[in-house]
Structure 1
Amino acid sequence: MGVIDTLLSVTLTRPLATLFGLSSGLILAHCVYRLYLHPLSHIPGPILAKLTSLWLWYHSYIGDEASVIHAQHAKYGPLLRVSPNEVDISDHEAIPAIYVIKGGFLKADCYSNFDIDGHKTIFSTTDVDYRAPRAKAVVPLFSTKNIRENETALYGCVDRMVERMKSEKQARGVVDVLNLSRSLAVDAVSTHLFQENYNGTSEKSSKLSASAFVDAFVAVGRFFYLPNWMFTWLEWGLEKCMPDEHTNASMAAVDRFVDDLVEKTPTRGALNYPGRLMELGFLERSEVKVQCKDLIFAGTDSTGMNLATLCRQLALHPDKHEALRAELLANEQAGTQKQEIQTLPYLSAVVKEGLRISMANPTRLPHVVPAGGWTFRGTHFPAGTLVGCSAYELHFNSTIFPNPLSFEPERWLDATPEAQRSFFAFGAGSRSCIAKNLATTELYMATARLTLSNVLKGARVGQQEVEIYEWFNSSVKGEKIELIWDGPVESS
């Protein structure tokens, strides 16, 4: 009997065994290809990561992706293969090519998992032609000039937050600064961009009404790297099988605010965020509402985390709080020589160090190598490879930032060029955070007013460590960052 006849006989008599053998052979061949023959096979990384994206999906889901990848970089070096077709780079010299020069590389398809209600957003879209007119319409609202013209309203939001902190401190001796910072953030975003205050700092409940809405979008980051079709089915299944009344109520509250805002905004002549989008003339109101909801989420979450981190660090370091307060008081007493707060060196150092250590957005920002490929430090990446950098990796690089986990504002008073180039809190280039000017202004204003009020004096932290889920937007385990004042609470 010939070989062909033998194989045919085995196939017919033992089909399951044959199928198993063929499948095993194909899997083995695929593994050999990915380990030894793939165009990225020369780039080091964990064997499982080279073989399958499941390694990355798993660590993304459980929320330790950034720290696990950080440990792998210590083992393998600055180039790390984190999935069969994806490389993480822990070198700030890669930032210009990936994110800045000529607009940088295009965003990876997985960003579309952050689409909302079936609509792309200015953040989530990978389509340059879709984003360009929408971003151009609203970018003027984020200019330094526009923000400065609205300083009085923004300071009003800050002052209400400071008064609420004083009130909660006096009444209970405990303040959840994460909730309070989120409340300020949503008020500042809505006041400046919508010309209508959400009034989060005036809410009487212990949790901001928009918090569960924000947390639901944060949780999307667990599945950030999934193919969009898989993410869509998974999201649908979770909504059907695991409904959450608290989250639904929070989403309904935000929907009511946005619906009312957009419906009463005229299609012509309004200078707020939805008005500028409707001036384009080709956007449905449903999409305008989605863009507004996306802004509420992003502006509330990241700035809330950053400010809460600053409050916590100033409580942990009373000497730095006093040094900052001395600078601010001297500036207040300078009369005609008084400076803009964003020019004050120690305040600037405190804010920047808070942003470095906060980890509001710790994970990678993957982009796609364009046609023709890309060569970085002698290593060639073929077209279609996903490459990216992360704030966690860059900000906790001990070579550039000695004692990287320590809050040391002084490191920014005479920062090295490498430190400046490694700062990645808002991303980089044309696709960096569109609201970074507004977010930074909020942090300066709030940090200055909180410090001048002396409300943080005598505070101790409620948690020795703030643990986070390292998703695209970090999530604080326990959903609170508390400051506590022991004994009788003096008025500030």
Structure 2
Amino acid sequence: MAVRFLPDLGVIGLLSTTAIGLLTTVLVYRFFFDGLRGVPGPYICRLTSLWIWYRSYSGDECTTIDRLHKLYGPVIRIGPNEVVISDGAALAPIYVEKGGFMKAPCYSNFDIEGHSTIFSTLDPAHRSVRSKAVVPAFSMTSIRSGQDRIEECVAKLVARLESDAARSRTLSQQSGRSQPVNVLNLTRSLALDAVSSYLFGQSFEGISEKGDRMSANLFVDTLVAVGRFFFLPNQVFLAFELARERFWPDQEVNESAKKVDDFAATLVQGEQGDASLYQARLLKAGISAHEVEVQCKDLIFAGTDSTGTTLATMIWHLAKRPDIYKLLREEVAGADAKDIFYNPQSLRVLDAVVLEGLRVAMANPTRFPRTVPPQGFNFDSNGKQYFLPGGTQVGLQVYTLHLNPTVFPEPLAFKPERWLEDPSPDMQRDYIPFGMGARQCIARNLATTELFLAVRAIARSNVLEGAQAVGEKIEMMEWFNSKIVGEKIELLWQ
């Protein structure tokens, strides 16, 4: 005779009651007693971060948070322990004053091969050793002394763009069909070549590669895609990455990563004759060869993605604004006629184009989360007081600041002329393409120099004469590093 084991209904009842009790306790605490109970936001955000993590994965996190600000106000709660602020008055106390708040733990998700990078490390002392070693390479004095290496890369970009434009025009005329050029691939190639030539003393030679995709693109795109998981707890993030590598390997991505790995490995092999090179500075500071390779790969990723995307965005918008392009060409021609050794950053129209390009491109559109110190953070916005307890994660997102219609009228429009007038104090305060404070982008001077030199050279060449921008807008996925949908920003010459 079979024996049936019946569940103990008393145990099941006890477990159910306990679960309901715990859930009720959490609900009561989150809604009535926790330190962020006075901060408005969707009710689900009081209970879990799953909703905002899903929005990040979906690529519409920034627009979602922007809508929440319009609905709830300048200070909103997007998770049980996370707040986002849209009022630029919060920038200084969070990111600048007294060194700013510490980076949130999620930054460690951007560690590479077990090493914290200058960008990802949470430990100021760990960062200090490395940043002090390389900061001189990013000074404007050093960059100007090595500007010829960047200019050589820019000249190759212009020559490639002229060649591709001529081919596009010829094929369009012969076939009667559009033959667009993906300028994003070219600008990424320039960014990588400029970074590697100037900092490493050895060009990656991306501009010289044939085809529509630079060999390093898949490596860069893979790291960009990691940004959709940026805000996850580190252990959860690592589990996702392990599962991706094990169950969804990609041979093309692996080949691209190997080429970057091999390139980085050559940078630390043998004697480093030039002590000014980035890798030599780190090795001299006592950093291991493997970590130096990692730091170099981090720069390859960051420089290629952010500067390349921004320059392609500028070129696309200039094709849509022939009036601004005409003013730019006239300004550059006038300056060239007077002094070939002038500083391009002294040109007002060129400066305005770069400023506006950085504003609309938003290579990092999302928030830069920080951890509130133990004493808490008091913030007054529009006469309302908010207190954030110690340990709360807080930040401001670039998307909301750069597209604030009160500060930047017609925020979606590319209008360099807004910078030719007297920029308002709020414009200057809320403009943060490189972050701000002690942890802002270490390579900002190099990136802006590349942009100035490239846009000036494009204006000189007049390669955009007759160019048409493809598409009504540039669509992006709003991850920590924005991803251009389709990995294409295209121009057409007819």
TM-score bucket (shorter structure)? over 0.9
2:431 to 415, 423, 428: 423
**Correspondence for 1:381:** 388
**Correspondence for 1:342:** 345
Secondary structure of 2:152's aligned partner:
helix
The answer as to 2:108 corresponding to 1:112 is yes
2:307 to 294, 303, 306: 303
The answer as to 2:86 corresponding to 1:90 is yes
The answer as to 2:441 corresponding to 1:438 is no
Which consecutive residues of structure 2, in runs of 5 or more, have no partner in the other structure? Answer: 1-6, 170-179
Cα separation, 1, equivalents of 2:15 and 2:184: 56
**Correspondence for 2:177:** none
Cα separation, 2, equivalents of 1:47 and 1:39: 15
Alignment of 1:92-491 (within 5 A): 92-173=88-169, 174-266=180-272, 270-281=275-286, 283-335=287-339, 339-377=342-380, 378-413=385-420, 414-486=422-494
Secondary structure of 1:196's aligned partner:
coil
TM (norm. structure 2) is 0.94
Report the alpha carbon displacement of residue 269 of structure 1 after superposing the two structures with TM.
Answer: 6.3
Q: Can you list the C-alpha shifts for 1:46-100, whole angstroms capped at 9, x where unaligned?
A: 1112221101111111111111100110111110111111110111111111111
Cα separation, 2, equivalents of 1:198 and 1:372: 48
Which consecutive residues of structure 1, in runs of 5 or more, have no partner in the other structure? Answer: 1-10, 487-492
Report the alpha carbon displacement of residue 380 of structure 1 after superposing the two structures with TM.
Answer: 1.3
Superposed CA RMSD: 1.3
Secondary structure of 1:14's aligned partner:
helix
Do the aligned partners of 1:186 and 1:296 also contact (CA within 8 Å) in 2? Answer: yes
Q: Quick one: structure 1 residues 62 and 329, their matched pair in 2 at CA, closer, same or farther if it must change by over 3 Å?
A: same
Q: Which amino acid aligns with 2:275?
A: A
Q: Which amino acid aligns with 1:447?
A: V
Secondary structure of 2:207's aligned partner:
helix
Cα separation, 2, equivalents of 1:236 and 1:229: 11
Cα separation, 2, equivalents of 1:389 and 1:250: 34
Report the alpha carbon displacement of residue 212 of structure 1 after superposing the two structures with TM.
Answer: 0.5
Report the alpha carbon displacement of residue 371 of structure 1 after superposing the two structures with TM.
Answer: 1.7
Cα separation, 1, equivalents of 2:270 and 2:203: 15
Q: Which amino acid aligns with 2:347?
A: L
Secondary structure of 2:432's aligned partner:
coil
Cα separation, 1, equivalents of 2:10 and 2:165: 75
Q: Which amino acid aligns with 1:233?
A: A
Do the aligned partners of 1:191 and 1:198 also contact (CA within 8 Å) in 2? Answer: yes
The answer as to 2:29 corresponding to 1:33 is yes
Q: Can you list the C-alpha shifts for 1:408-453, whole angstroms capped at 9, x where unaligned?
A: 1111121111100110100001100000000000000001111111
**Correspondence for 1:8:** none
Secondary structure of 2:40's aligned partner:
coil
Q: Percent identity?
A: 49
Cα separation, 2, equivalents of 1:445 and 1:371: 45
Secondary structure of 2:492's aligned partner:
strand
Cα separation, 1, equivalents of 2:490 and 2:16: 56
Do the aligned partners of 1:113 and 1:228 also contact (CA within 8 Å) in 2? Answer: yes
Secondary structure of 2:457's aligned partner:
helix
Cα separation, 2, equivalents of 1:20 and 1:57: 29
Cα separation, 1, equivalents of 2:190 and 2:320: 22
